[in-house]
Structure 1
């Protein structure tokens, strides 16, 4: 049985529709839309357990607004190396005036290198692979093209012990490709095809490689490092010491000559830690005699094409 009050309300509504037909149509349309939306929301809520991955109407509206305001992420580029520092090599071209006796002596040393040259393994945290891309995805040329000369400051044994000690933190890692003792003994530490950690914040002719985004760039990725054992007089922070021995210069010339030939380097690519260091803290190799190296490399024929 239909209540009387409901019948009376329906009769009034019918009278209003007859008197205002256009208004009634608009109201019915609006009301229908509201009913449809109400039913859609009700159904959506009732079926959440069966359509958990279906977005709600509010989710869709928020997504549209988010897409409108979204911005492309800023592009990240590799940090640029500092302004290039010019390098004029002290090694001059020399095709004449060669000391034949010195040439014979150095060639004999090369022939008997097994008696004064050895390889010592170090801990793998102190060397690594050369990178073909930097930390930002930019391509790198990992081929060796600069030689950096250093000194140990303390003994050869002390340097080797340091390199054989694990250093899990990048900031503490250190190594050279080769060490040269006061008596002319050469200790090969890192394969030249691998990356030795001879220089920290460094660059050569305006080039470095950033291989750790937490640290500034260095030239280790394309450098070869050789270090001379420091004489006892250099175990301090003085700017000079008594210098290196004749046997050290002999061995150094042979090591460098091998790298020049193997990697097609020019003598102008041989530089010092002092020159490539960007922190202004390195001065090695102190008391280095470039004339002694010139004398030997010319005897080996490595300065005629420079």
Structure 2
């Protein structure tokens, strides 16, 4: 049995408490009961010492050096793991495929954002709809669409603007196709498959080249050639629907095959005073500046 509602309730309480260690212990227990044992042990290790960054056992992370804390560790090298004790996401440091410059390294989430994480964001984020001349769907940033979704599954059928708001709320950005190309070149195949499982596509955080109204979702099949037409992709063995370039979408498209992942630049880090604003909404309570006080 998956303790989905308990996990989400405990996560909500933990964030609202300012990541209080006592709330962290209760959340760690819920993570363990939900089958997320490695995450549970990482959070429990952090909760035992409060707000300092703590070393984690390499045995839990396939031999990699790993840390848990509110912000990325400064001493990390590519391949190290940071368990973000705010988003509750394991991030791996990836060197850029395109430059040896260490400042271009990126922390990428080791798995897509899950339904339980996204539902807590929808419950806690305080947003103001920005006035624009463009139509906004009635179900934008509403939880009704996700009531029947399995809690531990990747969060899909999400508008790209919702994914941007989620990422910004946690002080992060969306992972982009160039980040994912670097990850595929650096990681073992099994590790990369966890980052981009099955035929799941991820909303691309890189601005689209064609139009401000276009959104891009990438899967492993088109990481090298993200703008190939469907026919070309089918000839390469990627079986997506025909009739349009499968990874280009209008701004209010969403799909059950599209999820998203978060990313933090090594150079930029997690901002201390972020301004979270998408094309359609301002998030008034970004979570990291509020971790010392209740949301």
TM-score category of the 2 structures, normalised to the smaller one: under 0.3
Identify the structure with the greater helix proportion.
1
Question: Who wins on radius of gyration, i.e. which is larger?
Answer: 1
Using structure 2 for the length normalisation, give the TM-score: 0.26
Using structure 1 for the length normalisation, give the TM-score: 0.26
